[in-house]
Structure 1
């Protein structure tokens, strides 16, 4: 079978898959690396780890394809958004990758918003002004080390970093990744002069922007290592979020994709760039005429992982002593099924890693409200899951405010394998939720976009129709009614928390953490 290889560079792993024109996966691999947290608000990756992982994922998937007798006709790329790193003129990294989770630029983001520029920049760029964005990150460099900012030949994201390892060609980035920088005008299709001035960079320091279907060349050494013909097309591809929609079939109007991994997101596809007056939704490109709008949340499966570390002591079951983190997470979620909807009056604000959508205001912290002696571990874990799903419902409510109808939800990611997660999500959204047949939706989306770039899938709706989805989980009417009544309390409590945190930090600032590796 002819196949396209999709390489998806994520925050803690690079995944490689191969898929035929029928959309079915033929091979898959995963290469992991640690996320480093060397100081307060910092979240970084080693750029060499990312480049090595991309090459290894490609060579391993290509080897699996050869073993099965499949012929690789193209390689297509996906990468996570909002990363930033300095590079030299030849594409060699000069420092760590500053990821989306890095919050050092909170002060710069607040200053931009306070100057009355937040909504104007978001309306042009599609990216909320937030510490995650490269715009704010560069403004941080401008404030703290302007000489390095000015003298660095290239400021890049993850896609440019991966291309430096895989591609033999010019310094370019795809429209999708560019649309997530906060520096690119989606309507004028150029780097935004005002954003560049705020960031303190010149257009010459940034990559040229090309369509997501652009064909490049593999480096001869990479092609040889992977056992691929030298002329195998390398499709530049898109960002992970829009590709996840394609990979779960959430491209037609009214169909929403939800990612439930370490973090989460809710997105739908529209046919032109669109932003909302309230500034609650992002807008990133899939192709030149398909755009993903939605919101990302910082906390999803990571909340249960934290609960496993914080609450698992004394969790006595046969064999529990040797459990790994995934097994412990699954056991806690299973236990949480014993708690009722609403967790007996316990409300969780799950902002352990701060929060993004729908408010895009840094500094949020987590909390439990209504805690009583009668509450046990099952209540605490279920309330955390409910808090995450309620946050996604708040993003969906932003869709409704802009007239974007949602009729169907397709979920993907590790948490989507859990019956409790899916049932709570369906009731919080009050919508049927189908789970994609493959957990590798983003990498599959890269494959499908590769087939589209080759001309074999001219219609992306046709590509989406190839994706299998299980039977939809229907919302429970009584649970849905309860969550709808609770949701205004979530928003009210979260907004109050923002003010409380400022006072907490003034009275008792958080301690400086030691260098550590974050859990994947």
Structure 2
């Protein structure tokens, strides 16, 4: 087999290992589930060693099923979700469970600091808003509620960096993870000591990992990791990218004329800028490895995971049996949704299973006795698209906002042609989908290709390794229909938030 690269991506529910050729074509992929832990209300954790075992099993199965000679694997790199936290000792052993970015234990601290003005002060220095799952907020929570954990911690790591530490023993991060973690000044890509002091986490600063280039070899695969994965000891391991950035790179996003949209667990919507945004403080902001740009992001946990929940918990009959046989849930539902698009439909779905704006609840509104499953599925697809648009409306507000002309779509929803068209019609912009199913893994494979010298820079690697597979043009008639339906969606969301208990 010809020379190849392996990209690893530790996502919300699965850890994936994918094999790519040097032109970026995905040759094979193996997936293993991650174990989620819910030790208390609002606490979302992950067993780090279980995630490491899932990585080892995925890589080993990838090598075995493809029959590739480990000597043909030119480099390995990992991506993973941003923020959250992994605390390890000097030997890379976790000192407590990892925390996932959907965790909300620090919500009370965010509210306290918003009231005191500290949140605004910190946001100005890190160029993004404070939110409970942010790494620095979690350190503040540990300082208050688990102060003993600091003494056991040699290094604070992010998800992808923990996996690389297990592969190599090396501890570092890159500026994309540092940005999402709320720990750096995005423009200088350096830690901000005053932020750590003001947040009461000054003692954590010397535990933070050194920041290095994303497209650089950090170390080689250790002998111990080689035995567990089937990789050859010494194989270069590249530092890599956080998943938001990796997916944007693998989608071929190179300039401000494009909007990167990831429809997965989170609604992730990002645009590129020459300098950090300041007129409207983004939810996330991070250095981007192409053209010295900055990626600004708006998002929330309001995306395709709502549809996956519906299919898992509610869907019944032939569609559910087809999914159980291994068919794509998008293939199973596409005909029903296509038929529903030919009928009048005023049903609204609010995709707020993980919490909506202002505490708005999830739910269906406007279902009639004559409606069938396809009508409900259509409403779910539309509701998720409306939630993305709410984030995009914020992202495109302010004098320093980008003015994108096309959307590059990634995530689970990108597998559905029907959903791609709905996104185009709701947003009034063309939607493009690139080759490949695992864009986080592909993004770090692109970084690896640059790191080992196969391409001189990210721009050249993206040009050679990314190909647009599908394009959806918006319908003017459907866009006008969705303008009115979206206005109702926003108005009712505000009403629900105002009156729902606990909002």
TM-score by length of 1: 0.86
Residues 378-417 of structure 1 mapped to structure 2, 5 A cutoff: 378-401=374-397, 402-417=400-415
Deviation of 1:372 after TM superposition, in Å, equals 4.7
* CA 1:376–1:39: 2 relative to 1, 3 Å: farther
Aligned to 1:184: 184
Pair 1:69–1:312, CA change in 2 (3 A) = closer
Preserved CA contact (<8 Å) 1:124 1:187: no
1:338 aligns to what SS in structure 2?
Answer: helix
Deviation at 1:382, TM superposition (A): 1.8
Q: 1:423 aligns to what SS in structure 2?
A: helix
Q: 150-159 or 183-192, which moves further after superposition?
A: 150-159
User: Which of 296, 303, 308 is matched with 1:293 structurally?
Assistant: 296
Secondary structure of 1:296's partner?
A: strand
Q: Which moved more, 1:176-185 or 1:411-420?
A: 411-420
Q: Distance in 1 between matches of 2:391 and 2:342?
A: 21
Tell me, yes or no, if the aligned pair for 2:179 and 2:284 is still in contact at 8 Å.
Answer: no
The answer to whether residue 230 in structure 2 is matched with residue 232 in structure 1 is no
Q: Matched residues in 1 for 2:21 and 2:140: separation? A: 43
Query: Equivalents in 2 of 1:318, 1:110: separation in Å?
Result: 43
Conserved 8 A contact 1:83-1:100: yes
TM-aligned CA distance change 1:69 to 1:82, over 3 Å: closer
3-state SS in 2 of match to 1:67? coil
Bigger mean CA offset, 370-379 vs 392-401:
370-379
SS of 2:375's equivalent in the other structure is helix
SS of the residue aligned with 2:181? coil
What is the distance in 2 between the residues matched to 1:321 and 1:248? Answer: 30
Q: Structure 2 matches for 1:109-508, cutoff 5 A? A: 109-149=110-150, 152-169=153-170, 171-197=171-197, 198=199, 200=201, 201-217=203-219, 218-223=221-226, 226=229, 228-272=231-275, 274-287=276-289, 289-309=292-312, 311-313=314-316, 315=317, 317=318, 320=321, 323=324, 330-340=331-341, 344-355=345-356, 363-401=359-397, 402-465=400-463, 466-501=465-500, 504-505=501-502
How far apart in 2 are the matches of 1:304 and 1:206?
Answer: 37
Please show how residues 57-68 of structure 1 align to structure 2 within 5 Å.
Answer: 57-63=58-64, 67=68
Q: How far does the alpha carbon of each residue in 1:276-297 deviate from its partner, in whole angstroms, 9 at most, with x for none? A: 4232442123438243222233
Please list the CA deviations of residues 315-351 of structure 1 after superposition, one character each: whole Å capped at 9, or x if unmatched.
3x49938836965665445423333489622222211
Tell me the matched-pair count. Answer: 495
SS at match of 1:222: helix
* Unaligned runs of at least 5 residues, structure 1: 507-520
Taking the aligned partners of 2:16 and 2:245, their CA distance within structure 1 comes to: 16
Which position in structure 1 is the counterpart of 2:41? 40
Aligned 8 A contact 1:435 1:471 in 2: yes
Runs of 4 or more above 6 Å deviation = none
**C-alpha spacing 1:500/1:135, structure 2 compared with 1 (3 Å):** farther
Query: Which runs of 5 or more residues in structure 2 are unaligned?
Result: none
The match for 2:89 is: 88
1:60-110 deviation digits (Å, cap 9, x = unpaired): 434556537971221122111112133223321122111011122211122
CA RMSD of aligned residues (A): 2.9
Distance 1:371 1:229, change over 3 A: closer
Matches of 1:13 and 1:264, distance apart in 2: 18
Q: Please give the alpha-carbon distance, in whole angstroms, between the structure 1 residues aligned to 2:420 and 2:44.
A: 29
Relative to the length of structure 2, the TM-score reads 0.89
